[in-house]
Amino acid sequence: MAGICLADIARDNQIEVPVDLRRDKGWVGQLIESELGALAGSKPEQDFLHLGVELKTIPIDHNGKPLETTYVTVAPLTNIQGMTWENSLVYHKLQRVLWVPVEGERSIPVGQRRIGTPILWQPNRDQARQLQQDWEEIMELIALGKVDKISARHGEVLQLRPKAANSKALTESIAEDGSIQLSNPRGFYLKINFTQQILANAFS
């Protein structure tokens, strides 16, 4: 697919190209899933379970730098006692990722955006350590009932941010006194500097 533009992939899959992504934010990802035959659908599993590979498209600028953070998974806000890094959803999803860079600048019409060279990545020792450290720190705050005090500034490479239809959506979380309260759902995201390093390392 490298070098091909999205309109070509869309035509092959009989999918229409939207004018912009405001109402089609997951369009590029789903287009590539369709092209590659990913099977997970909306299940919380790796896209290619049989290969142990997660597929992620990543929007880049003309210098190859990511334009956005990368969503990983929803964050569990209750029933997290006994949960460890090794059995977390973040750990499993990031075991192996096929990154598919796609031009993402809004000045380029969606259909004309080109696909870059895909990168099959596994976290190296340092990356794994950074991810685990951030995950454990964030999960501890959640366990202590401080989810509503966590901002996207926490974490060096992994951050916690809202992941919901809007700011009014509610889900159960742990309160500071240990009881159940309602909070805006959150998700884990990889910060731009981290994914930028992944892409850079692949070409060095």
Burial pattern 162-191, b for ≥16 Cβ within 10 A else e, equals: ebeeeeeeeeebbeeeeeebebbbbebbbb
Q: Of 132 and 159, which has the nearer Cβ to DNA?
A: 159
Closest approach of DNA to the CB of residue 9, in Å: 13
Binding of DNA at residue 92 (CB under 7 A)?
no
| Footprint on residues 35-74 left by DNA (CB under 7 A) | 40-44, 47, 54-59, 67-71, 73-74
Asked if 103 touches DNA (CB under 7 A), the answer is: no
Selection from 203, 189, 197 nearest residue 93 by Cα: 189
Long-range contact list for 85-91, CB < 8 A, 24+ apart?
A: 85/132, 85/135, 85/136, 88/135, 88/139, 89/44, 90/131, 90/135, 90/158, 90/188, 91/131, 91/132, 91/135
Cα distance between residue 20 and residue 134, in whole Å: 34
Q: Is 159 in the site for DNA (CB under 7 A)?
A: yes
- Scan residues 2-21 and list those touching DNA (CB under 7 A): 20-21
CB of 74 to DNA, least distance (A): 4
Residue from 2, 11, 19, 26 that binds DNA (CB under 7 A)?
A: 26
Could you list the residues that contact DNA (CB under 7 A)?
A: 20-26, 28-30, 32-33, 40-44, 47, 54-59, 67-71, 73-74, 89, 102, 104, 106, 151-153, 159, 161-172, 184-185, 187, 189, 191-192
